[in-house]
Structure 1
Amino acid sequence: MSYRVLTAEFSHETNTFNKNPTGYEAFKRYFVYFGDDAIKERGQVNTELAGFCDCARDFGWKQTHVLSAAAEPAGAVTGDAFDRLGGAS
């Protein structure tokens, strides 16, 4: 039986003592890729995503990747950034 697997990466170290909120622009400065663009940028290098892509190929899984995003450590992620990255309308 072949599995269908949904993958995503969302990385941010929140420091609650940091009063500077982490908005969408902070993610764009580090990296934000959606769908196949993420696989093209991060799927063949030394990342967790690349390791999973290798396994998906080896086991014949159908992988759908939706998001790869990261920002530098800072304050809490804003609702706007979370919604934009998560696809909320």
Structure 2
Amino acid sequence: MLGAELTEHLGYEHGAEAPPMQANRRNGASRKTVKGDGGAFELEVPRDWDGGFEPRLVGKGQTRIDGIDHRDVRARHVGARHPRALRGVPRAGSLA
């Protein structure tokens, strides 16, 4: 799901050629441990080169996700193959 958010941010699909005039690219992922209703779990948060990507599900510096647990994240991930699937996902600040 977070990968779909990065696709929306960058404007091209993972594995596709980036637009020639765009300097910002995918830059791997970092692991982040967050705490939800079902306990702590680890996420892989994708990064971009210029550091401008701010995930909506889990914001930078956010360590709690109330009202969601690892099963919800997995279910949303499986269903979010396209950025349009992100409609209705609350911004990170509105989850805490």
For Structure 1 versus Structure 2, the TM-score category normalised by the shorter chain is: under 0.3
Q: Give me the TM-score of the superposition, normalised by structure 2.
A: 0.23
Q: Give me the TM-score of the superposition, normalised by structure 1.
A: 0.24
Structure ID, larger Rg: 1
- The structure carrying a bigger helix percent of its residues is 1
